[in-house]
Each structure stands twice: as C-alpha cells, then as structure tokens.
Chain A
C-alpha cells in the first residue's frame, strides 16, 4: 500500500496545481494579422500522379487543420529549390506504396496542442504487450515507403509530428528520383552531409528496416519517442559516415536492434568524421526482433565513429552499450559514463558489457562495476565473459508505470501503450547525471526553420526529468 501513496499523492498535487493554473489564468484576445499563405496546397483532391510517372511535385504551405492525401504509389516530390511547410495540425495521409522525397526543404511544424500526422488512414494500433504477433502487426507492414531527404535536401524539420507505418521497399522509380537505394526500407532517410535533419518532440511508430537512416548530415534529435521500430532487423537511428550532432531525451521501446548506432562507415570526401553526442536517452527491451545474433540492442559506436554517451538508461535490452573493436570506433575521441542498466534475467546482465566488444566499464556506471566479486571480477578484460547473476533485478529504475520484473517475454514490450517511463521521486536515477557535458549543435537554431530547443544534459538519468523537462510526451 505504501508504495502507492506517494504517486497518488503526487498526482493529486499535480491535478490540483494544474487546476489552479486554469482558474488563475488570464485571458486575452488581441487581433493579430497573419498574411495568408501565398501558395497553399489544395486539399480538394488527393495529390496524385499520372501518365506513367510516379511524381507529384509539391511546394508551398499545407494549412492548419486540413487533411491531405497522397494517392497510392505516388512520390510526393519537393524539388531542390522548393519548400513544403506543414502548419500545425496538418494530417497527411500517405497512400499505399507512396513516398515523400525532399530534394529541397521540408518543415513539419506541429505543436504540442496541434501535432501533425504523416500516417496512413484507417489503421488501428494494438499496443497491448503480446497483443499481436509482429507478422500481423500493421506497425511492421510497411504501408508506405517513407520520407527520403535526398542529396540536395538542405533542411528537414519534424516538430511535434507523428510518422507512422512507413518502411516499404523504395523500389526502382522512387530510389532513382531520390538518389537513394532500390532496396532501402527506411521510414526516414537523410543523405546530405551539408544539410540538417531536425526531429524534436516527435513520434516514430513502426517501420521495417532502419527506421531512421542518416547516411550523412547535421543532426539533432531531441525529446522524441520511438515505438515498434524495425520488423526483424534495423537500428532505430542508424548514423553513417559524415553525421555530426546530438541525440538527447529520446525514448526507444522495442527496437529491433539498437536504438542509436553511430559509425563512420562511408564517410564521403568533404564530409566530416561521424561525431555523435548522446545523452539522457532511455532504451526499453531493445534488440529482440533482430534475428541475427550479435547485433546490439541499445547503443553502438562502430568503425571510426567519435562522440560520447552519458546519462542513458537501458532496461532489459538484449545487449548493453557497445563499442566495437573491429572495425574499431575512434576510441581516442569517444567518452562515456553515468550510464544505467537494468536486467530481469542473467542473460541480459551477462551482456551489460557485451561479450567480444571493447566497452570499457566506467566507475560512474550503474550498477556499480565493483559491487560484487562476480560483477566484474578482477580478472575482467574487455569483452570477456563474466557472470552477471549478482546484478539481476538490482536497483530498479522506479518508472511511474512499468512494473518490473516484467511478466512477459522481453520482445513483447514494444510500445508504450499505458506505460509511463517518468520517474518516481525515489528513483535511483535521480541526480546521477553528468551535467558538465555539452550538446554538439551543428544545426541552425530557429523556432521554425531549425532546432527550437536544445535541452542541455539533465541531472536525472534517462529521458524524463523529475523537474518536468526532457521528453515532454
């Protein structure tokens, strides 16, 4: 009974406080003039292609509150000098087999009150753990191809935007227009090392292969939520050579493989070395739909990638934070610490420092690497096998609503549903964060055409801060 008192109390306090705010509120209604959009996109008929071509060129503004439809099999193309701005509250229904190809600028400017949707009409989610087998789950069906930022895409912003059910194979026509690959099954692809990809406060639901593939680019992904990503493989945010930026306050649940993977593979001439700062991310039950063994389940740093990862939380992920030794990550320029892990089973605990890799256990890690004689033994060398039995089910993270130990197979925890990964006030994650590190901001800062808010590292581990900052979902 005792354990319920404090949360109930908190909720009551919160409810009272917010109600008070409402009562207290000051209401003003002052006229302000906004010029009408010069080039509004018509929602009168589906955006459709014809005459043997799959292309629907589009530019201008999609207006608040309207619903637009892309016809089946069509590629919505933003040409290199054009911009498509989606005002808050736009729903864009993608037809089966359709895609969005951004060769110019794409800004989906949703807001907390009026989020945007880029989705497929008429699909029902089932997020009950074990409710659907992956093979029957529409999340993994790849209804449409995805958003492709081509080699000339200078800016793509997804703000308070839901992207759902993408990941169908690009195919010949789409991939040649986008300058991408025929076999790609990415929900979002960005491939311009001179361009910026910004995702803040958004949601990515479902997917087939890598839900987000950054072949190269300036990158900022803040406070976003990732569910059911990748059907039988795919790293949720897969960053290749020439990617520089920050990933922070993101929540990943049930990723097929890793949540975040950084590699310098494929660095192009003129592109910088991959350098990724990751902090305050939360990974739940990652890596269980990857059928190939040894592929990772939370964070990977590989092949020449530099950067850092701090203040992250991984719960029941198949593999812990992984630094790869061959091809080796740029370990001279890679730092990490203050990372938390939790395991319900010994097989998970045995991979906190994955066997065969070169992750260096840090004194600031949780659980403490000197807590018992077995974890980790004095004879431990990087990548060797150890017995994690002593840290199984130790120091649970105290999420607001995610009972641990879990009662179902780890793989079934693939979506948030009714769970809540905010922290209880007595969580051991509180106050353990490293706040001295700095985000690596390479994208423009702007309320619309850039990153609106670069939340600095937080004192509490994971994506949710007790003070209400961090992930706002």
Chain B
C-alpha cells in the first residue's frame, strides 16, 4: 500500500515536470512579482500599466504572475504596489509591432525587512545583494518558506498546523488533535529550534526547550521559514532544522485589516457533549500562600473546577484579528500593531491500553500484558491572545533602529473524563471487573513575551554592524488542576445487575505546577566586505551571550474520600481528608525534586566568509563555537544524589555551503554543517512528573547531542510560483536522546526516561517538492523519504522449557523516535480573480512512525500511517470584504498506535480488554478521534 502511494506520487511528479511549458500570446506583457528578499512570489499585488495617459491595472495571480493582453504598441510604464512593500520603481519600455510578448519581472522590497534584518538572512546581506537578483531569490542555505499569503489561504489557524504543509515536516498532535510540535526530516521536536524574527525564544514548556507551535496564531506571520542547513552565523542548536517565524512589519502606507470568524467541531454533537468548567479560584497552592511548613486542611481547597463542570452542546468557536500599520515622519517611523484572538473548542475521544512494566514470557516471548484499558474523552477550550508590535525608525541612511514586542497568552481549559477497566484476571459471573472513573480539569496558562531592540549601522563602505538586545519571558502556570477519581468493585448477578458495590479508593487531587524562563541576551555581528582579487568577499564576525534563569515549582495534594461513602453523583457528601495530617505539609511533598532553579549562561562566537570564487559559485563557510554552562539545584534533601549539578560543554561547529547556479533558473546546493541539540531543563533536572499514561523522570547524566549534517539540493524555478526542488540529506547523530519506557524501583511501575542511545544514529533521505499552476488551478506536492537507524540493546523475556523463564539482552535495530519513512503533502489550489474566489484542498500523509521505545524487544509503539484532508476557501464580497471558511479533518482520520504483536496470540483473559482490533499481526493499543471542525468568517482589508 505504501509503495502504491509512493509510485503514484512519482507519476504525478513526472506529469508535473512534463507540463512546464507556456503558450505564447501576441501583444502581451507579463511577468512575475517577487519579494526581492526571499524570492517568494507575491499574489495579490497590484500592477499598474500606463499607456498614452490611460491606466490599467491587474492583480498578481496565485502563481505569482500577472498578464496584460491585447496591448497597443508604443511606450508604456509599469509599476507595482503591494501592502507591506515599498512601491516598485517604474519600468519603462516600448512595444513594437513585432513584439509579441514582453516579460517584465519585478522584485519588490519589503518595507520592513530593511529593519528586520534577521540573523538567518544577514548573510544574504541585502545591501550588497540588491544588485545581484539571482542571489536575492533565496537565502544561501537550504530552506523552505511559506509566505503570509500562502498561510492566509491555508486551512490552519495556528503555526503548528501550518507547519505540516512544509516539505519534510510532520507534526505531532496534542490530545485535542492540534498540531503542536514539528518533526523536520524525521528528527523530532528536540532536534529543532524556534526563532522569532531570527531570535531564539524561550519555551513555556515544563520540560523542554522546544516551543509548542500551536501557541502562535498563524495570521500574525509575514512568513514562516524552515531552515534546514545552518550557517555559522546562526545558533548551532538545531539538527533537524530551525523554524523562523518572521512577524509582520510596518507597511509603507496606512494599512488596516480585520477578520472575524466562527465555527464548531462536529465532535460535540450527537450526545458527545463538550465538558466545560470554571477554573479554581485558588491560583496559588496552600504552600505558596502560607509557606512550606503550613499543614493544609481539606477546607483550604476549592473544588470549583470539579463541581462547576457542565456540558455544552456544540459550543461555537470564534476568532478575530486586527492589524493596523502606517508610516510617519516622512516615512522615517513605521508602526504596526497586530492583535489576534482565538477561542477554539476542540476535543478527542481516546482509547488506550496500558501494558505492564514487564511483558510475559508465555505464550510467546515478550507477550504484552495489559493492566488498564482507558477510555478518555477530552474537551479543550483554547483561548489565544497574540499581540505584536513593531516600531522602526530610520535615523539616517546609515543608521536604523527598531523595537519589536511580541506577547502571546494562551489559556487552555482541558477537561478529561476517564473510565478505566482494570484487568483482574477474572472471568467469573459473580464478580465484575473493576471500574475506575476519573474526571480531571486542567487550566494551563502559557505566556511568551519577547522584546527585541535592534540596530543597524553602516560604518563605512566596507564595515557594517548590527546588534540586538533581547529580553524574553516564557511561563506556564497550571493552577489547581483538580482530579476526582472513584474506584469501585461491583458484584453482578447472573442478570448483570449490580448486587454489591465496594469502594476501593476515592481520591481527590489538587495540583499546582509553574515554570518560568527569563532570557536576557545580546547579539552582535560585524561585516567587512573588501574586494579581494576582484571579487566581493564578505567576512562576518559575531557572537551572542544569553543569560537564562528558570524556576519551577510543583506540588500535589492528595486527599482520600474514606472507604465508606459510595459515589453516585453525591460529591459533596464524600468526607475528603488527608490520609495523615502530615500529607498536607508542603515540605512533605514527595516531589521536592520538581522544585528547582536553573541558570544557563551560553555564549557563542563565529567567523564566516562568503565569496564567489567564480560568478556561478557561491561559497559560504566558517566556524562557530558554542559554550554552554548550566547549573541546577532542586529542593530535594541533602541525602538525595543528583539533587544539584553543573554541566559545562563547548562545541566547535564548522560549516560550508556551496551554491552553484547552473542557469538563471537552476541552482545546485551542497552543504555540510555540524550542530548540537541541548537537552531540555526538565530532562536534565532529576524531576518526576506524572504524564498522561506514564510518569516521566529526568536524567542529569544526559549528554548533549551532536551531529554532522550533509545536504545536496537541486532547484528549478521555471517561472511564477512554479518550482521543483529535489534534495537529499544525510545526518550522523552522536549521543541521540530517546525516551525509553524503563522500570522504576518496584517491579510494577514503569516510567519514561530520556537516555542517550548507546550507538550513534544515522538519518538520511530525499525530498521532492513540485509546484505547477495551470491558469486558475495549481498543484503542489511534496514528498520526503527518510531512513534512520539505530541499534540498541533490548530485553527479551522467554520461557525456556529447560531453564525456565529468563531475561536476556538482544540487539534490535529500529528507526529513530518520531521518524516516518514516508511523508507527503498534496494540495490543489483554485484562484480566480474574476470570481474573487480562492479554494484549497490540502492532503497530508504521514507514514508509520515510532512513537515510544520500549526496553523490550519488539514492543515499541508505532503510530499507524495518518492521512488528513482539509479544505479552505475565500470569496471576496465587494472590494474590501471577503468571506472565508476552513474545514479540518474532513475524513475524521484517527491517530492509532500499535504494538507489533499479533493480538490473537494474547491469552484469553487479555482478549477481554483488547477492544476492537483491525490488524491481525499487530495489537491496537491507542486510538484518538478528533472529528471534523469547521470555521467560517469575514475578512476586511483597507
């Protein structure tokens, strides 16, 4: 099946390539309008044609081209206007009778990129590159770009979901189906970094450095860059790639745009209601208010988050956005303010089987044994507020400064309703299975603030300087997560009626969890551009210093409901109390290791050179040194090993990027770079947190990951938005970190722990991207093949007829976690200026991938291949107003996770817990359904 898919794609690709040819039409002026900086086409720009005092205008089509047909001979002038760009110069020409076709390609300069010179493109050195249009088209390194126009038309409202449209990117979803993390070329989120305007931002994540991408509303972006090869001037902390979110910047004239929409998810109908709740009034825990020695009493807690739980029938999602921008003081001062608000209701229905820590040796070696069968309904209301603002001021033509502010706030109200059937190994009729009911209501507040002061100075013809001063905060607060669980045994008679009910355990948990990062950093880059042997050479020297402080606290209060009161919606009647009064004291909290402080001081220096040894070849190379100093301290008692620690390392990262222009429209690129990936704070600190299905622990002995990366890419830009990219990559990864399910203390409990794999990993693959437009209709496909392998020791538990049960070690080779062999996107676009209608159907395919590594051979968890189909459209109503709609997950695709163990081989009692199975050679252990969601609204543009 997978191969059929593959061949279909190849055929389609061939077809696309063969059809690159354009018919010629007499007396026509046409051309392509592009961003001078990125080479992206600019659909929607207005092209003015003036001939003999009369003006005509047309819009640039989706394919990036415009066309004036049936034009009179004689002189003409053409210029282009576009929001956010400086008006183009006036192109003058003369059409003779013999002229059938005149091609005028126009590159626009982004009004703001002059100010927002980002690190990644600093090497492109716009000032000097402005004359060299061939190089302007794209950056010196391998990258893929989604422009704001592309993003606007996508069915996605968050950056997380938009990322899956980029070649070589797959996304990892949160419990409600929202794309949260990007996996770039099979390298999972830890290998990738997130930049805003080229600046690395801290993460509100409790454990990791990677930033949840669903927190960013996509409409705030000017473009989204996925950079797959790092230059010395870039931070070396990315192996898969860096995602650079370039935010909108001030336009050249007054701009106002607004949009509002409403929608719903089809999950919340037909009896499956949305479960809503009001958050607890207790933003702080009793220990935070009264100190760690205070003995909390049951009366100190509010159960509002549980008692206020209520159902909503098909709640309405809404989004709104507003952008205002203008330039003042003779265009010297530019200001843009943009706000985005989203209130989205989503959810999922999840079923999961949890295997025991150790499989059974009977009937087959490593036979999984399931202890719990969870059935969970998630209802999530996400409120996102994004504000961004940029002020730039041109002091004179040699000095510019800008101030950028980004604030993002997200409230996520998640209600999780669980029923859990425990496997008791009983098949009798006089005792029923044990059922646990649990409701957990969680409010998670996340904030990101980034303020960047940026300056650019031209010191002389040959010297330039730019700098940034940055203050960032990322925080996450989980105030009073409230969980109520009731666990009972019911005895049934032969008719299935309940005869007796025994309360095993009634539990009420109040939990607070906070973490906050503050980054203070400075960047500086010097450029020296002498002419050596008649060639322009650019030397760049620079560095960064970052001082990061993180603090985290974590406390759980567990109350028990006694054993006497059975639960039948009589929550108020249950006499909750601490098991022992001492359990209410903050300093008795068993998770003291989760209260920690981290300080990290990083500095990096680089030297890079860029030159063209001959006109068609560009060489960019250099070295970067990254120094990391990280120290942590937890509140664990003095007798706890690993309670504090300091980790210091330095890396020397060389890189070289070659770009050879075969023709005007074709490039070949080759690059090598070395890079690193730093473990997350929560991974290094020996913390222990409870996860959805397993507890997770930290590991201070983790080494940071290093990698050698090689890239080769062929690029063809036949015209318009059409393009073909064919690339291949090879990565050698040293000390890769993977999450293992490991045993913890006793024989029954298992936890997830990050560990360095003993062996090195390799990851190689190929990428193909093709886009072709036929008038109103465009096709875009991309496909990535990735192959990664690592060999590790796994446990094999067998029952030997002679020796009895023994556990041995065997070598097992497998792909890296998160990596899918086959990843593809296909979309069909329709754009008619005449009808004022844009439509897009987008399909994403993610092949089977490894989600969780087991310490036992052949018991890794694999996510089955996943397909998703989305649709979006926009229709203009009059000149300034348009109506748009987005439909996600039309086919109700499910995320399913399997063990590669034939489920029929499990013993009979296990079969009772399996639920519906669909693949004979595998065992389905988790399925998540999200259903289709709809969004529709109006957009206004001035």
Interface string of A277-307 (1 = CB under 8 A from B): 0000000000000011110000000011010
Determine the residue in chain B with the shortest Cβ distance to A331.
B362
Interface string of A304-335 (1 = CB under 8 A from B): 10100000000000000000111110101100
Contacts of B743 in A (CB 8 A): 266
Task: Please state if B361 and A383 are interface contacts (CB–CB under 8 Å).
Answer: no
Task: Please state if B504 and A306 are interface contacts (CB–CB under 8 Å).
Answer: no
Task: Please state if A53 and B430 are interface contacts (CB–CB under 8 Å).
Answer: no
Contacts of A213 in B (CB 8 A): 746
When A266-B746, A269-B795, A324-B425 are in contact, do A292 and B504 touch as well, CB less than 8 Å? yes
Task: Please state if A264 and B427 are interface contacts (CB–CB under 8 Å).
Answer: no
Q: Does A212 contact B (CB under 8 A)?
A: no
Contacts of A264 in B (CB 8 A): 805
Q: Does A171 contact B (CB under 8 A)?
A: yes
Contacts of A383 in B (CB 8 A): 427-428
When A240-B747, A293-B491 are in contact, do A304 and B799 touch as well, CB less than 8 Å? yes
Tell me, rounded to whole Å, the shortest Cβ–Cβ distance linking B822 to chain A.
36
Q: Does B55 contact A (CB under 8 A)?
A: no
Q: Does A360 contact B (CB under 8 A)?
A: no
> Is the interface on chain B under 10, 10 to 19, 20 to 34, or 35 or more residues?
35 or more
Interface string of B899-918 (1 = CB under 8 A from A): 00000000111100000000
Task: Please state if B749 and A181 are interface contacts (CB–CB under 8 Å).
Answer: yes
Contacts of A180 in B (CB 8 A): 745
| B428 interface neighbour in A182, A306, A355, Cβ under 8 Å | A355
Q: How far is the CA of A216 from the CA of B425 in the complex (A)?
A: 24
Q: How far is the CA of A264 from the CA of B748 in the complex (A)?
A: 11
Contacts of B639 in A (CB 8 A): 53-55, 75, 173, 176-177
Task: Please state if B807 and A232 are interface contacts (CB–CB under 8 Å).
Answer: no
Q: Does B281 contact A (CB under 8 A)?
A: no
Task: Please state if A173 and B425 are interface contacts (CB–CB under 8 Å).
Answer: no
| A53 interface neighbour in B369, B423, B637, B749, Cβ under 8 Å | B637
Q: Does B489 contact A (CB under 8 A)?
A: yes
Interface string of B364-386 (1 = CB under 8 A from A): 00000100000000000000000
Q: How far is the CA of A271 from the CA of B805 in the complex (A)?
A: 10
Q: Does A138 contact B (CB under 8 A)?
A: no
Contacts of A357 in B (CB 8 A): 425
Task: Please state if A269 and B637 are interface contacts (CB–CB under 8 Å).
Answer: no
Q: How far is the CA of A446 from the CA of B804 in the complex (A)?
A: 29
Q: Does A432 contact B (CB under 8 A)?
A: no
Q: Does A385 contact B (CB under 8 A)?
A: yes
Q: Does A36 contact B (CB under 8 A)?
A: no
Q: Does B806 contact A (CB under 8 A)?
A: yes
Task: Please state if A356 and B640 are interface contacts (CB–CB under 8 Å).
Answer: no
Task: Please state if A265 and B356 are interface contacts (CB–CB under 8 Å).
Answer: yes
Task: Please state if B747 and A241 are interface contacts (CB–CB under 8 Å).
Answer: yes
Task: Please state if A54 and B637 are interface contacts (CB–CB under 8 Å).
Answer: yes
When A215-B746, A355-B430 are in contact, do A267 and B640 touch as well, CB less than 8 Å? no
Determine the residue in chain B with the shortest Cβ distance to A305.
B805
When A266-B746, A273-B804 are in contact, do A291 and B504 touch as well, CB less than 8 Å? yes
Task: Please state if B425 and A325 are interface contacts (CB–CB under 8 Å).
Answer: yes
| A267 interface neighbour in B358, B636, B748, Cβ under 8 Å | B358
> Is the interface on chain A under 10, 10 to 19, 20 to 34, or 35 or more residues?
35 or more
Interface string of A243-273 (1 = CB under 8 A from B): 0000000000000000000011111111111
Tell me, rounded to whole Å, the shortest Cβ–Cβ distance linking B901 to chain A.
15
Contacts of B503 in A (CB 8 A): 291
| B489 interface neighbour in A55, A294, A325, A328, Cβ under 8 Å | A294
Q: How far is the CA of A325 from the CA of B356 in the complex (A)?
A: 16
Task: Please state if B909 and A215 are interface contacts (CB–CB under 8 Å).
Answer: no
Q: How far is the CA of A55 from the CA of B640 in the complex (A)?
A: 11
Q: How far is the CA of A268 from the CA of B806 in the complex (A)?
A: 9
Of the candidates A175, A213, A265, A333, the one having the most CB atoms from chain B within 10 angstroms of its own CB is A265
Q: Does A172 contact B (CB under 8 A)?
A: yes
Interface string of B706-720 (1 = CB under 8 A from A): 000000000000000
Q: How far is the CA of A257 from the CA of B147 in the complex (A)?
A: 66
Task: Please state if B502 and A328 are interface contacts (CB–CB under 8 Å).
Answer: no
Task: Please state if B804 and A275 are interface contacts (CB–CB under 8 Å).
Answer: yes
Interface string of B483-508 (1 = CB under 8 A from A): 00000010100000000001110000
| A330 interface neighbour in B427, B744, B804, Cβ under 8 Å | B804
| B358 interface neighbour in A241, A328, A385, Cβ under 8 Å | A241
Interface string of A330-357 (1 = CB under 8 A from B): 1011000000000000000000000111
Task: Please state if A356 and B804 are interface contacts (CB–CB under 8 Å).
Answer: no
Tell me, rounded to whole Å, the shortest Cβ–Cβ distance linking A374 to chain B.
17
Q: Does A184 contact B (CB under 8 A)?
A: yes
| A269 interface neighbour in B425, B747, B748, B807, Cβ under 8 Å | B807
Q: How far is the CA of A266 from the CA of B743 in the complex (A)?
A: 8
Determine the residue in chain A with the shortest Cβ distance to B369.
A327
Contacts of B809 in A (CB 8 A): 269
Task: Please state if B428 and A292 are interface contacts (CB–CB under 8 Å).
Answer: no
Q: Nearest 6 CB-CB pairs, A to B?
A: A266-B747, A181-B745, A326-B909, A273-B805, A273-B804, A356-B428
6 cross-chain CB contacts under 8 A: A181-B746, A293-B502, A303-B369, A304-B799, A332-B801, A355-B428
